Structure 1
Amino acid sequence: MNLQIDQGSWGEFLGRSHPLLVHLPIGILLLAMVLALLARKEQWGKLRSSIPIILLLGFISAVSSCITGYLLSLDGGYEEGILTTHQYLGITVAVCSLVLYIFYRKEDKFKNWQLPGLVIIALLLGITGHYGGSLTHGDAYLSEAMPGGLRRLVGGSDEKNVTVSYTDISEAKLYEDLVQPVLASKCYGCHNEQKLKGGLRLETIALIRKGGEHGPVLKDSMPASSELFRRLLLPENDEHRMPPKGKPGVSPHELALLEWWIAQGAPADKKVKDIPKSPVVIAVLEGMQGSGDGMQNEFVPGETVSAGDKNAIRALIEKGVKVLPVSEESNYLSITCMNAGSFSNEDMKLLLPLKSQLIWLDLSGTAIDDEALQQLSELHYLTRLNVKQTKISGGKLAALSSCKQLKYLNLSGNTLIEPDLAGLKNNKSLQQLYLFGSGVPAEKVTALKTMLPALKIDTGDAALPRIASDTIIYHKVPG
């Protein structure tokens, strides 16, 4: 196997230093204006002599920013019109700072132009910075963050603050009503007509399927293999994580909707009622019924809770574990080990400092076994627990009896040898139990159903009745 490593180039390296250098001329030239204003007063007059050297430094840093900005633009992915305007404004700032330096050197001829020149440069810096922000975050990055009153004052609308309410979620269109709003709020800022990060646009399904500079980002029916979904699961400090570090991540219920959409082939026009649903998707949809936030449901406690320990969260992230708030307004946490298959019994102790905040836990596909159930018993606020395809044999399920709020439990894909289903009889809040491929004897399922009549138990053993069209009879033709 030949391993090729991209060594980069000096041009690319210097171009990516633009964000570091671009703030220097801003600070230096604004300092020159402040000193010029102070120097107008007699007691600060001596400051005037320092202004020319500050302007010269501002000119040098502005030229450096222009050069590195040009090199960065060669990477592509920027809207041409805004990029050109930003470049010319940057050059204008550099030229004006040089001219103003000359004005201060020739004070006898241009003294009356000095302060107006500094004011003009300050205005140019603001406009240039705005266009730079538009290249990075999209042209509406500033207006979208305005409070409603200010937005109306400048002639905008309150569209951002509209909350969608679904009186019948089953009639909603999966892409248009549920998936597209997630992409709009979390992805369009970097992947739109004006800012083509990675050459990728996401405003329509056709553009999503087209992909970007590195190929397709969507593989129908394969969320884990789709870059559009896979990058959402990466740790925040990963350079490939989307949205990038410092921007709000995708919430658990938004992840569930995106995964469901991709798993169903990324349909364009299908309604919710027409598409098969997993138990998690059903819970998310139930939460969206009658509200726009998707989180006000029985799987989220109504009480408020303090924020989780940052060191504990960091320790989990370093293990490859995904830690997310269940909503932007809540300190309750959802923890997923999808990218941490080596997570073991020993690692379970990392969860305990967050036991007051942790309500959704997905340990599926990890290396835990029955011994982990003892530590799970300390997570008293769990409402969802997924331990499918682990090494749990089911003999210590009674340890979960202290999880009084547990409503959803998935044990599918485990070989449950001598499962103690009766140990769940004290979990009075349990509503859904999944046992696909676990080999649990039917009599034990029946016994638990007798103890918890309201519990829905799905063993995956449903069989469809045979209809006449299922059978084709071939008749031998004589001769």
Structure 2
Amino acid sequence: PVGPVGVEGPHLFPDEHEVDKKEDDPESPGDIFRDLVQPIFEASCYKCHGPEKQKSGLRLDLREAAMADREFATIIPGNAEESELIMRITLSDSDEDRMPPEGERLSESEVATLRSWIDSGAHWPDPEISPLPDETELEVQRPTPRGLAPGKLPDLPRIVVSDDSVRANISKALEVLRGMGVRAAPVSQIDDAHEAVFRLLRKSATDEMVASLKGLEPVLTRLDLAGTSVTSASIRGLWRFGKLRVLNLSETVIADDDVAVLASLTDLSVLNLFGTAVTDDCLALLERMPSLRRVYLWRTAVTNEAARDLARVRPDLLVDNGVVPAPTPIKAPVKVETSGIWPGREEELAVDHVHDGSLETIWSGPEEARTGWVQLTLEKPHRVVGVRLDEGDFPRIQKFIVEVQKDAQWVELASGTTIGSKKNVLFDSLEASVFRLKILESVETPVIAEFDLLTD
């Protein structure tokens, strides 16, 4: 999977062994679905498999319908290759079963997003339910102060418009946009926030069509121009839409100079610049955008080093450039302790074998044991983002947890079932010196060939 460069770890899609996260966690699967997956469904699938039409009895706007038991399962959580959805969207253009059947096919990035989402469990959150807003003509409120959790969206006000003339202008704009094939509609039923999705039109969407947004200035919060023909002329006019919160400019001609205009959008929280011409030069502007919490920079000229620097300077900003920094073993003296060893085989199965860099040497507990533990103690605290485990040629463990010692107490960091070979178990980074692998179940005497602490 691909993921953000930031202080919360390298994965965009959580590993099955990571500590469970709440749905409102900034990097939670719920956010991944809402920000990356659902827009693809809306743009490319809802026309035939949405609320108004369900060809072949398939709906992709409802979780229960999309996950329903079918002869060929549309979505198999954890298995993208066997999912009918992935098979259909990757068929050749000449195949009559290719989806979508007409128009441009999904881009490589969209296919990769759906693959990663399914392989990571295909998490589909429950619909959000919020209380009704207070009725005011047009609520205005500045975002809350920056938090320290990268990607956590700011609390922005609901948008409520009661002025009849403003509402008339909104209705007129919606009518014009829909007549051109633009998906323009309210975001929800709880306020007057609206969205406009031009990506359905791909390259036929032009600057002249974007100009038809006039009238939505007080209510437009989401704008999707991905893959369209818009130019800097359209971007220069976005300053009028001060309520914009989510903006998708992926695979357009947008460059660094255009980002300067976006810096005037004080409510902008999510910005997708995938596949654009932006470079490191635009990052200083992104840094100064007060409400920005998520920026996607895959396949741009932004360097990994510059993206990391931005994430450090803005700890509240999730910076995702599609690069997964590979965690590496900590190279520092480690003291190894275990729960026990096979009597009479102390030299052959020595405790130091779990941390000697060789898979040829192993540690094993007592012959009758089916549980046990291995503890690593560093001379001083280090930044640790995970552990690497390997059972060598003896895959026996069925259940385990990874713990850290804090204030003389053991705190669970992650858990899992089988280990096997070269298993990376990642968790939120922390500074500590004492870590333990606790083996809870094993079909035979537990064996560990290597146990390493990882850092980024």
TM-score range normalised by the length of the shorter chain: 0.3 to 0.5
TM-score normalised by the chain length of structure 2 = 0.43
By percentage of residues, which structure has more strand? 2
Bigger Rg over Cα: 1
RCO comparison, higher one (Cα < 8 Å, 6+): 2
Looking at secondary structure, tell me which structure has more helix per residue.
Answer: 1
TM-score (norm 1): 0.41
